[in-house]
Amino acid sequence: MKKVLVFGAFDGLHPGHADFFKQAKKYGDILIVSVGLDRNVETIKGKKPLFSQEERLELVRGLKIVDAAVLGVKADYYQAVKKLGPDVICLGYDQWASVDDVKAGLKSAGLGKIKVIRLKPYKETRAKSTHLKNKSVDF
């Protein structure tokens, strides 16, 4: 069975997240979601998440499409990837990491066989947490 791994904050689930999970699930049988730690989300996004890491994890775990959800790690991401054993890593269209950088990091960690795929946006200006939080969403 093929495992797919995705990463994200998932701070306020919305249709864009649902689409992200659906796209990712097409690449395998088991969808594993790594939910970002509060401190990592704040570092990457420049502000604290609205919901705690435990709340976000529970919300993601409650989704039928998600087979497993785990909390992310502070550092040494590739060791965490190794433990989860995915065959594919799917990146969101707006995630900061480039496909080439992730591939290079995986290769350096001895995980070069993992496929890395950049997914397409759902509706870029309609279903993005940043837009929802800023109330600049066109419903």
> Does 127 score more than 80 pLDDT?
no
**What is the full DSSP assignment across 90-106?**
EE-TT-SS-HHHHHHHH
What pLDDT was estimated at residue 75? Answer: 85
Res. 124 pLDDT band, cuts 50 70 90: low
d(CA 120, CA 83): 27
d(CA 33, CA 4): 8
Asked if 47 is an active-site residue, the reply is yes
H or E element in which residue 116 lies: strand 115-118
d(CA 65, CA 116): 20
Domain ranges of the chain: 3-133
What pLDDT was estimated at residue 134? Answer: 43
Query: Among residues 22, 47, 120, 123, which one is catalytic?
Result: 47
Q: What is the pLDDT of residues 26-73, one digit of tens each?
A: 999 999 999 999 999 999 889 999 999 999 999 999 999 999 999 999
Asked if 120 is an active-site residue, the reply is no
Q: What is the pLDDT of residues 63-122, one digit of tens each?
A: 999 999 999 999 889 999 999 999 999 999 999 889 999 999 999 999 999 999 999 999
Query: Among residues 45, 82, 103, 115, which one is catalytic?
Result: 45
Task: Given CATH 2.120.10.30, say whether it is the number of domain 3-133.
Answer: no
